[in-house]
Amino acid sequence: MVKAMYVHVPFCDSICAYCDFGRCKMQPQLADRWLTAIERELLKRQLPTAISTLYIGGGTPSALSVKQLDTLLTLLDDYAQQTEEYSVEANPENLSLEKLAVMKAHGVNRISLGVQSFNDQLIKRIERHHDKKRIDQALDQIHEAGIHNISIDLMYGLPDQTIAMLMEDLNLAANDERIKHISIYSLTIEEHSKFGRQKIAPCDNELEGTMYELIVKTLPEYGYQHYEISNFAKPGYESKHNQMYWRYEDYAGIGCGASGKENHIRYDRPFQLLNYLNDEEVFERLELSKSDEMFEFIMMGLRMKQGISLSRFEALFQCSLSDVYASAIHQNIARGWLLIEGDSLRPSEAGMTFLNDVLMAFMD
């Protein structure tokens, strides 16, 4: 039974230089048509309403107008009655007290703010449209609206970013009592992004590794637990929605550009906005075999420090993880990358850093 829902808002006010996600430039009339299409999809799919975590991502949900946001959240009200966590992604430059008041009124209790860096020069370099001052105001506004569970996204490995710049970002974020959760990802140069077309060189591997080591060392010193490869949280503020993905629960994906997994089927909703508006059922469906699911369960679960539950694996797949993957588990334990503790198979700190290598053994 689906207990998590992701809704993708495909609009952004401007396009960042590194982005090749499913998004397009905001056009208010298109956004109105998109809202009608979301309503149609929700009616058609008749999903269960007992949803534990609801996540509106993008794109930039805060690029919607106050009225459009209200319409979207009203459409989702039925699914928000039992949510433990209701998150909306927002960018500092287009967030406002009015939009936050609408979110609060509909039960939103977590904001994920697209900060990326506090360094004005770097923010400009990646072609985002806020600055350090605006980040500070947005954090204040979120609190003023009565939403105190705030996550921020940061990036590292940005063009021209030095270790000192990264340290400054980490110190600013970690010293800010308003911020409870930090997701931090390295920049990848995607072929179809502006940076890709400009042939911007990716960050040197060694520098990227040093930056990751610094992040992993610094944030826990400020009380942020490193609970997933790229995610750090103050106790009790771990993302419940993302844990649904990492624990390999089913989730519904709504809107163009969204993905979902339900009843052993992984699907992508139509990627192109016009296909979606025209109700063309152009989407990918992949039936997952038992061995696909066993591997994905491991791949997702080992992203988390707490790892995977051996008894849950057995209950889901009617076989023992230690039997099916005996050789991979032994190899990784011998390398110091995996540990078995009680009912959990979990990665060491080094195992989280070298997760791809850990997983190679499971693929064999």
Give the interface segment with ligand SF4, choosing from 52-60, 174-182, 279-287, 338-346 (CB under 6 A): 52-60
Taking CA atoms, 350 is separated from 96, 207, 356, 360, in Å, by: 41, 17, 11, 15
139 binds ligand SF4 (CB under 6 A): no
Number of residues that bind ligand SF4 (CB under 6 A): 11
- Residue 233 is encoded by which pair of tokens? 């949280």
| Phi, psi (degrees; rounded to nearest 5) at 67 | -65, -45
**CB of 364: closest distance to ligand SF4 in angstroms?**
36
Binder among 4, 19, 90, 328 for ligand SF4 (CB under 6 A): 19
Binder among 23, 106, 110, 346 for ligand SF4 (CB under 6 A): 23
**CB of 57: closest distance to ligand SF4 in angstroms?**
9
Give the interface segment with ligand SF4, choosing from 31-39, 58-66, 180-188, 276-284 (CB under 6 A): 58-66
Q: Which residues of 74-91 are buried (b: 16+ CB within 10 A; e: fewer)?
A: ebbeebbeebebbbbbbb
Binder among 41, 47, 54, 59 for ligand SF4 (CB under 6 A): 59
Give whichever of 11 and 313 is closer to ligand SF4, judged by the CB atom. 11
Place of tokens 């990492």: 246
CA distance 23 to 8: 9
Binder among 9, 12, 138, 302 for ligand SF4 (CB under 6 A): 12
The single-letter code of the amino acid at 299 is M
Nearest Cα residue to 232 out of 139, 304, 299? 304
Q: Which of residues 114-133 bind ligand SF4 (CB under 6 A)?
A: 114
Contact call for residues 17 and 127 (beta carbons, < 8 A): yes
Residues forming the site for ligand SF4 (CB under 6 A): 12, 15-16, 19, 21, 23, 58-60, 91, 114
